[in-house]
Chain A
Amino acid sequence: MEYLKEIISLGMWPVLIYIAYRLSLLALKYFHKNLEKTEKL
């Protein structure tokens, strides 16, 4: 596999987008929890 390193590097691109999506969900969950807390206060 002559181009293995390059294929893996290119394959990281959609992985990054997916990670960004999953982390966004987590971050939003945390944000909404804090939003509710702040509003209660």
Chain B
Amino acid sequence: MTQLFLNIDPSLVDWSRAQFALTAMFHWIFVPITLGILFIIAIMETIYVKTGDEEWKRITKFWMKLFGINFAVGVATGLILEFEFGTNWSNYSWFVGDIFGAPLAIEGIMAFFMETIFIAVMFFGWNKVSKKFHLTATWLTALGANLSALWILVANAWMQYPAGMEFNPDTARNEMVNFWQVLFSPVAINKFLHTVTSGYTLASLFVIGVSSYFILRKRELLLAKRSIVIASVFGIISISALIFTGHGSAVEVSKHQPMKLAAMEGLYQGGENAEFIGIGILNPKKTFDNNEDPFLFKIGFKGVLSYLINFDTKTFIPGINDLVYGNPERGVPSFEERKMKGTLAMNSLIKYKEAKEIGNMEEANLQLEILKANFNHIGYSYVEKPEDIIPHVPMIFYSFHIMVFLGFLFVLIFLVYGWLTLKNKIDKIKWGKPLYILGIISIPLAFIATEAGWIVAEVGRQPWIIQDLMTVGAGVTKISSTAVQTTFWIFSFIFTALLITEVSIMIKFIKQGPSNSAIK
């Protein structure tokens, strides 16, 4: 079985990864706006229903129009993403379909249906249903979109921390034994909250950015200011929760994916009083097996990483070398040790099947015990060299630090915009122009930050498709890499065309501004 997977063409794995990454990254351009702007719209519409002020209806309808353009493309890329589990990752889907399928099915049946049903009322129900019914539909669309995110993120979290399952040696599949453990896994809950709040932050910056354009052009000032008030309040609350859940995610990563945490901080030699790197340039010559300094330049804070993980500077944080060579004093097993256990688990699975086939139940039970004892390392049987368990450190390190840096810049943007708008000075300050331009630029910056976050999460868990249980190479569908290359370029072309179309339509609608005929 191991040999079968090792025979897979590495370029097939790379192209399949590239195709999935491409689809996921394009999908994630459209989703976060949807997640956040729906709640902003719902808040605006609630104010309209409560006050009866028609200007609020006009504001609500304007943002709803921008949301609508974005939503359609988000659905298109999302569907392709889900199909790729079958087309490109069929070995993975077969191995864990009994677990992974459940949250995906709930997402489709419950959340997505809920979202799509009420979105119809939201768009076409103005003046056809009562104000309160329409408002309910808007809130339910927002809830549906976010619940949809919950289920797909539960599925993703399971890949990072497989919980609530048992391996069935007869079918060689993992089966769900505890649904609640899958749903309420701490990794899943943190991931959900961190991801949706990143969407809320991005949507708030989107509203601020578009409103800045209006202020810059001295148009639609009341709409722009009211929108900024809502977006800066929503944004500051969201980003506070984002920082809080980001910390929670890092704590979970330290427990279940220590290699990812080490890569995030470029930490090769672990220890107590571990340093948090504020700014750093990695040494490109550094590898796990040489003595080069990991950094060419750094500004670090001693003990902060240990403190952040466990509120104690004495907390030991394993580095890349600890995880490769092991650290017996700290109970960190080496790669060789885990590979030995993984190979033992894989061999015992083969022997179990052979013994069962000839009816030797005593031998089968013995092999089953060995398999169970070593199952948590089974993925290591696919890995050949120690360096294969180390993800791409520079990509993770820089992505993580860009995300954190931008996150703090966004806090400042929300505070400055919020304060100046509350004081009604936003369109009157002398240094307004650079501020409005910063507001507009914050839209692409928010996309960079959120995509960087996903790079940390997904590149950081390489080589695993399921942490410690299955490598990405073992999960791939064995098809010709040329076929995957072909679809990769087709998808690249289609997605780019979709993105250009969406951005052009959005810019056109933004330039057009809210329609006065919206008030009916």
Contact = CB atoms under 8 A, between A and B. Distances in A.
B421 to A, nearest CB: 6
A23 B233 contact: yes
B190 interface: yes
Given A13-B196, A31-B421, A5 B47 contact: no
Interface in A1-21: 2-3, 5-7, 9-10, 12-13, 16-17, 19-21
Interface in B224-261: 225-226, 229-230, 232-234, 237-238, 241, 248
Contacts of A2: 180, 184
A27 B229 contact: yes
Interface residues on B, range: 20 to 34
B43 A20 contact: yes
Contact of A6 (B186, B229, B233, B428): B186
Contact of B241 (A7, A16, A24, A37): A16
A21 B229 CA distance: 11
A17 B39 contact: yes
Interface of A is mostly: helix
B36 to A, nearest CB: 11
A13 B153 CA distance: 15
Nearest to B237: A20
A28 B196 CA distance: 25
Contact of A19 (B226, B229, B237): B237
A17 to B, nearest CB: 6
A19 to B, nearest CB: 6
A34 B418 contact: no
Contacts of B233: 20, 23-24, 27
Interface residues on A, range: 20 to 34
B225 A31 contact: yes
Given A21-B43, A27-B418, A34 B196 contact: no
B520 interface: no
A12 to B, nearest CB: 8
Contacts of B180: 2-3
A16 B418 CA distance: 18
Interface of B is mostly: helix
Interface string B193-233: 10011000000000000000000000000000110011011
Given A7-B184, A27-B422, A31-B421, A13 B43 contact: no
A3 B184 contact: yes
A34 B190 contact: no
A6 B39 CA distance: 23
A28 B234 contact: no
A15 to B, nearest CB: 10
A10 B418 CA distance: 27
Q: Which of A7, A23, A28 has the most CB of B within 10 A?
A: A28
B39 A13 contact: no
B423 interface: yes
A31 B237 contact: no
A13 B192 CA distance: 10
B46 interface: yes
B189 interface: yes
Nearest to B428: A38
A38 B424 contact: yes
A3 B184 CA distance: 6
Contacts of A19: 237
Contacts of A34: 422-424
A9 B248 CA distance: 11
Contacts of A21: 43, 46
A22 B140 CA distance: 19
Contacts of A20: 39, 43, 233-234, 237-238
Q: Which of B188, B196, B233 has the most CB of A within 10 A?
A: B233
A10 B196 CA distance: 12
Interface in B28-81: 39, 43, 46-47
Contact of B229 (A9, A13, A31): A31
A30 B233 CA distance: 13
Contacts of A6: 184-186, 188-189
Interface of A: 2-3, 5-7, 9-10, 12-13, 16-17, 19-21, 23-25, 27-28, 30-31, 34-35, 37-38
Given A6-B188, A23-B233, A28-B47, 12 more contacts: A3-B180, A5-B186, A12-B193, A16-B237, A17-B39, A25-B47, A27-B230, A31-B421, A31-B422, A34-B423, A34-B424, A37-B424
What are the nearest 9 A-B pairs in CB distance? Answer: A3-B184, A6-B184, A34-B424, A6-B189, A20-B237, A24-B233, A20-B234, A38-B424, A23-B233
17 contacts: A3-B184, A5-B186, A9-B190, A9-B193, A10-B189, A12-B241, A13-B196, A17-B39, A20-B238, A23-B237, A24-B47, A24-B229, A24-B234, A25-B47, A27-B232, A31-B424, A38-B428
